[in-house]
A and B are shown apart, each in its own frame.
Chain A
Amino acid sequence: MEKANIYAGQLFVLMFIFELGSALLIPLGIEAKQDVWLAIFFGMLGGLLLFFVHLRLHLYYPDKTPPEFVKELLGKFFGTVVACIYTVYFLYIAARVLRDFGEMLVTFAYNETPLFIVNALFLLTVVYGVYKGIEVIARTGELLFVILYALAIAGFVLVVVSGLIDFSYLQPVLEDGFKPVLQTVFTETWYVPFGEIIVFTMIYPYVKNKKAMKKAGIIAILLSGVNLIVTMSINIAVLGVELTARTQFPLLNTIHSIQIAEFLERLDVFFMIALIIGGFIKISLFFYAGVISVSVICNVKNKSKLVYPIGIVVLFISLTQASSYAEHMYEGITIVPLYMHLPLQVIVPVFLLIVAFIKNRHKKEQSL
């Protein structure tokens, strides 16, 4: 853990961009068809639930990062094992997200460029940010937030003005009942992006004002949820369910559809800026959490020494974890949510919370 201090407003900004991150770009929860907004909504509620679990756990040890306090909860051996698993998880997800963004860029703009170069450049930016520390990432986030929101509003206005929106695509509501919606929630939207806020347990100790922190977290989750709902609904209202489901990046197609006065068209660069800003914050936070975990587990005082070697590891994982985009997506849809997200985002934190509850109650009895 480095010596830093970030305030609740910065946490809000980071959480907000983090949640939008990649979720804004992919066909999130499209298995629920036109009821995707419901799927995201329930995912958001689930995310709030997880946020409270993480927060409660954090408040038992307000000044400690998870790798520090799991040792107290589970004993030295099991604590270290759990901390190591989380470290690998954070770094793996950082690599996955990096792969996502690299693949996107290669697919839609740089067909000739090797994935390695695209990923390496992106990671270099992330490494620079993480090297400078969480305070700098938070401050950069504040500026990026303004840019992202300005772009979002401009894009929204342009889509509306172009007259592309057809609300009949969003009907009928609940055509096949609640089952497909809930299925989407439990296989996708709960974990990505909302469950991923588990990574913020590494950031909470830097925030001094815990009350404002709770508020910032709730507002960030709600606002990002609403933004995702609006974005996905617009995507479907513009493209229709079929096209949204088939395309890799529905938002890109929506932006492509904008045509105003034969001048404002093909605003790919809007999409690209949003993509890179979201990706930067998301990868930075996962990577940062991984670096801090390693520094805590291995007792490294100067975490900036770890940034470059771990950066190379992440870059390597991002390239080797799947041999093709199809394999990458298959892993992302079938394996990662079930075997990584569900246990590490939900089961382990709840288990830790129960342990913490019992332990601390025991402590109180002792002191009495």
Chain B
Amino acid sequence: MTFKLRKLSKARTTSSKSNEDEGAKTEKNEPLSDSLAQNVEAVKQKTGNSADISIREITLNDQAHTKAAVVFVEGIVDQQAIDDFLIHSLINDDDLKKNPADNILETIAEKVVALGELTRVHNHSELFQALFNGETVVLIEGFSEGVSTDTKGGESRSVDEPPTEISLRGPREGFTESIRTNTSLVRRRIKNEKLWVKSITLGKVTNTDVEIMYIDGLAESDIVQEVENRLNRINTDSILESGYIEELIEDQTATTFPTIAHSERPDVVTGNLLEGKIAIFIDGTPFVLMVPAVFVQFFQSVDDYYSRFDIATSIRLLRIIIFITSLFAPAVYVAATTFHQEMIPTQLLIVLAAQREAAPLPAVVEAILMEIIFEVLREAGVRMPKAVGQTISIVGALVIGQAAVQAGIVSPAMVIVVAVTAIASFATPSYNIAIAARLIRFVNMIAAATFGFYGIILTFIVLLIHLCSLRSFGVPYMAPLAPFDASGAGDTIIRMPWWKVKKRPALTVDGNVMRQGDNQKPSPPTDRTMK
């Protein structure tokens, strides 16, 4: 029965899709007409006379009185450029004034317009595509084609320090909402003709620009092809943020772990491109996606690469410990206090037992309750205006922390455990893996409450199996640890110094693995006579 239903619904979706496609074809692909008035009327009618569509009608030459219309969308164009280099030229150009009507379009295209890019539009679909991309279209009486010039502009946020990925050392630039600015930030860092960008438009209604960027010769061509295929497969009405695409192209949907990385920092994206990964830029969001992503990547922060390798390694190890703590700390506390009291050192056990004696709730209820309260506090704090934020911290710290303990509802040790977990879950550099750990933490607590350490260890093994079974664009998620790959292992939970990292990670890179020459280890002359 279910099978039949599924088949039916499948048939329905395909049929509706083809209907829409046909409708779109007949509606949009009308050619432009010879009559300027008709064309202008069509633009007005199709855009519903929208207030931000600006149509300026001018007369081009003196004798024939050829009429023309300059059409653009206010706000997404560079108004100054249109005034100075387009309308001004069209009205004042001497060649144009004397020109007869029949080849006026050629003259405009070749001599008059003083702007960079210039294309011809022939039908309504091209016309609107150009208009909404910030181009200005000049329509001329007697011609069934128009001239479109690149006048993209308008307000956009300037390049700023990214608020979600702060580093102590390193560039302060972050991506903006404009896709061209974003690609340029990467282009400036990799001055090489091998940096390729491919463009695709997604979203039937929003027509969002999406671009994939990779370094030809480094990125595995199969993976590039796979990314293109998965993007082309997308058939939806809108792409508003990178999260839409992430969910539509990931390998495994039944997991809490992110299999696609994202970043706001051009230097992170650059670093990933150099390891053969592929970046997906989406217009309208500062978050750039990077595939394939592996598990250890989410524990690496840019600071690691800019500070000394020994410091970076110890901080990375600390992060792994923190991550494991945030997963297991409350579960271990619950298991130890309810099942395995003998494992706690005697003195500590006495202290804990004294606290637990007064507590009315079982340890697991206490733990889950406190964890949920913490999650509520965090969620409330995220979207709270700054002025009100203090209230939350006072309520959190005083009312829930201290008052709950004084009232004897929760034991002080539990508050400590929850606080440690809370801090730990914020110390993971990547938010999306920290939140995965948060969810799994509750599963661990329940396992610990029912089967003690046995339950925790079994859920841990299940977690490992799950992580090992994930893939991101064909690359095993736990690589280069499992399967172990020596060429990539230098930059995982440890970071080898740059002069040791001779190879690029072989799993993502297409053959060309050598990263640097031999003997990169600095060896200053032994005698210090050098001045």
Q: Is A26 engaged at the interface, CB distance under 8 Å to the other chain?
A: no
Q: Is the CB of B462 within 8 A of A128?
A: yes
Q: Is the CB of A276 within 8 A of B457?
A: yes
- Chain B interface size band reads 20 to 34
Q: Is the CB of B340 within 8 A of A269?
A: yes
Further 12 A-B residue pairs, CB within 8 A, beyond A113-B451, A143-B482, A268-B340: A109-B339, A109-B340, A121-B451, A121-B454, A125-B465, A128-B462, A136-B468, A138-B483, A140-B468, A142-B482, A266-B343, A276-B461
Q: Is B458 engaged at the interface, CB distance under 8 Å to the other chain?
A: yes
Q: Is the CB of B483 within 8 A of A10?
A: yes
**How many Å lie between the Cα of A263 and that of B345 in the bound state?**
6
The 3 closest A-B pairs by CB, nearest first: A139-B468, A142-B482, A139-B482
Residues on A with beta carbons closer than 8 Å to the beta carbon of B461: 125, 129, 140, 144, 276-277, 280
Q: Is A265 engaged at the interface, CB distance under 8 Å to the other chain?
A: yes
Residues on B with beta carbons closer than 8 Å to the beta carbon of A263: 345
Q: Is B469 engaged at the interface, CB distance under 8 Å to the other chain?
A: yes
The one of A125, A132, A140, A262 in contact with B345, judged by C-beta atoms closer than 8 angstroms, is A262
Q: Is the CB of A136 within 8 A of B465?
A: yes
Residues 452-473 of B at the A interface (beta carbon under 8 Å): 452-455, 457-458, 461-462, 464-465, 468-469
| A and B contact pairs by CB, cutoff 8 A, 9 listed | A109-B340, A113-B451, A121-B455, A128-B462, A139-B482, A140-B468, A143-B478, A144-B461, A268-B340
Q: How far is the CB of B401 from chain A (nearest CB, A)?
A: 28
Residue of B with least CB distance to A275: B457
Residue of B with least CB distance to A130: B465
Q: Is the CB of A110 within 8 A of B454?
A: yes
Given A122-B458, A268-B340, A269-B453, A139-B476 contact (CB < 8 Å): yes
**How many Å lie between the Cα of A129 and that of B340 in the bound state?**
28
Residues 226-245 of A at the B interface (beta carbon under 8 Å): none
Q: Is A118 engaged at the interface, CB distance under 8 Å to the other chain?
A: yes
Q: Is B342 engaged at the interface, CB distance under 8 Å to the other chain?
A: yes
Residues 107-142 of A at the B interface (beta carbon under 8 Å): 109-110, 113, 118, 121-122, 124-125, 128-129, 132-133, 136-140, 142
Residues on B with beta carbons closer than 8 Å to the beta carbon of A142: 481-484
Q: Is the CB of A276 within 8 A of B343?
A: no
Q: How far is the CB of A155 from chain B (nearest CB, A)?
A: 15
Produce 1/0 per residue, B476-513, CB < 8 A to A. 10100111100000000000000000000000000000
Q: How far is the CB of B484 from chain A (nearest CB, A)?
A: 6
Q: Is A9 engaged at the interface, CB distance under 8 Å to the other chain?
A: yes
The one of A129, A137, A138, A272 in contact with B454, judged by C-beta atoms closer than 8 angstroms, is A272
Q: Is the CB of A140 within 8 A of B342?
A: no
**How many Å lie between the Cα of A121 and that of B340 in the bound state?**
19
**How many Å lie between the Cα of A182 and that of B461 in the bound state?**
38
Q: Is the CB of A268 within 8 A of B343?
A: yes
**How many Å lie between the Cα of A194 and that of B455 in the bound state?**
30
Q: Is the CB of B454 within 8 A of A109?
A: yes
Given A266-B343, A268-B343, A140-B454 contact (CB < 8 Å): no
**How many Å lie between the Cα of A348 and that of B347 in the bound state?**
59
Q: Is the CB of A109 within 8 A of B464?
A: no
Q: Is A165 engaged at the interface, CB distance under 8 Å to the other chain?
A: no
Residues 292-316 of B at the A interface (beta carbon under 8 Å): none
Q: Is the CB of B468 within 8 A of A121?
A: no
**How many Å lie between the Cα of A137 and that of B464 in the bound state?**
10
Candidate in B464, B465, B481, B483 with the most chain A CB atoms within 10 angstroms: B465
Residues on B with beta carbons closer than 8 Å to the beta carbon of A139: 468, 476, 478, 482-483
Residues 241-284 of A at the B interface (beta carbon under 8 Å): 262-263, 265-269, 272-273, 276-277, 280
Residues on A with beta carbons closer than 8 Å to the beta carbon of B347: 262
**How many Å lie between the Cα of A280 and that of B346 in the bound state?**
32
Q: How far is the CB of A208 from chain B (nearest CB, A)?
A: 13
**How many Å lie between the Cα of A122 and that of B458 in the bound state?**
7
Q: Is the CB of B457 within 8 A of A265?
A: no
**How many Å lie between the Cα of A278 and that of B311 in the bound state?**
35
Residue of A with least CB distance to B447: A121
Q: Is A319 engaged at the interface, CB distance under 8 Å to the other chain?
A: no
Residues on A with beta carbons closer than 8 Å to the beta carbon of B455: 121
Q: How far is the CB of A111 from chain B (nearest CB, A)?
A: 11
Produce 1/0 per residue, B332-347, CB < 8 A to A. 0000000110110111
**How many Å lie between the Cα of A125 and that of B463 in the bound state?**
10
Q: Is the CB of B465 within 8 A of A132?
A: yes
Q: How far is the CB of B158 from chain A (nearest CB, A)?
A: 45
Residue of B with least CB distance to A265: B345
Given A266-B343, A268-B340, A140-B458 contact (CB < 8 Å): no
Q: Is the CB of A9 within 8 A of B484?
A: yes
Residues on B with beta carbons closer than 8 Å to the beta carbon of A125: 458, 461-462, 465
Q: Is the CB of A109 within 8 A of B469?
A: no
Residue of B with least CB distance to A261: B345
**How many Å lie between the Cα of A144 and that of B478 in the bound state?**
13
Q: How far is the CB of A302 from chain B (nearest CB, A)?
A: 17
Residue of A with least CB distance to B486: A9
**How many Å lie between the Cα of A128 and that of B464 in the bound state?**
11
**How many Å lie between the Cα of A110 and that of B454 in the bound state?**
9
**How many Å lie between the Cα of A137 and that of B468 in the bound state?**
8
Residues on B with beta carbons closer than 8 Å to the beta carbon of A105: 454
Q: Is A61 engaged at the interface, CB distance under 8 Å to the other chain?
A: no
Q: How far is the CB of A253 from chain B (nearest CB, A)?
A: 14
Q: Is A7 engaged at the interface, CB distance under 8 Å to the other chain?
A: yes
Residues on A with beta carbons closer than 8 Å to the beta carbon of B342: 266, 268
Residues 513-529 of B at the A interface (beta carbon under 8 Å): none
Residue of B with least CB distance to A117: B451
Given A7-B483, A269-B343, A143-B464 contact (CB < 8 Å): yes
Residue of A with least CB distance to B332: A269
Q: How far is the CB of B472 from chain A (nearest CB, A)?
A: 14
Residue of B with least CB distance to A277: B461
Candidate in A133, A143, A144 with the most chain B CB atoms within 10 angstroms: A143
**How many Å lie between the Cα of A124 and that of B447 in the bound state?**
14
Q: Is the CB of B468 within 8 A of A143?
A: yes
Q: How far is the CB of B483 from chain A (nearest CB, A)?
A: 6
The one of B457, B469, B484 in contact with A136, judged by C-beta atoms closer than 8 angstroms, is B469
Produce 1/0 per residue, A215-228, CB < 8 A to B. 00000000000000
The one of B469, B483, B484 in contact with A132, judged by C-beta atoms closer than 8 angstroms, is B469
Q: How far is the CB of A265 from chain B (nearest CB, A)?
A: 7
Residue of B with least CB distance to A10: B483
Produce 1/0 per residue, B426-467, CB < 8 A to A. 000000000000000000000000011111011001101100
Residue of A with least CB distance to B478: A139
**How many Å lie between the Cα of A137 and that of B462 in the bound state?**
11
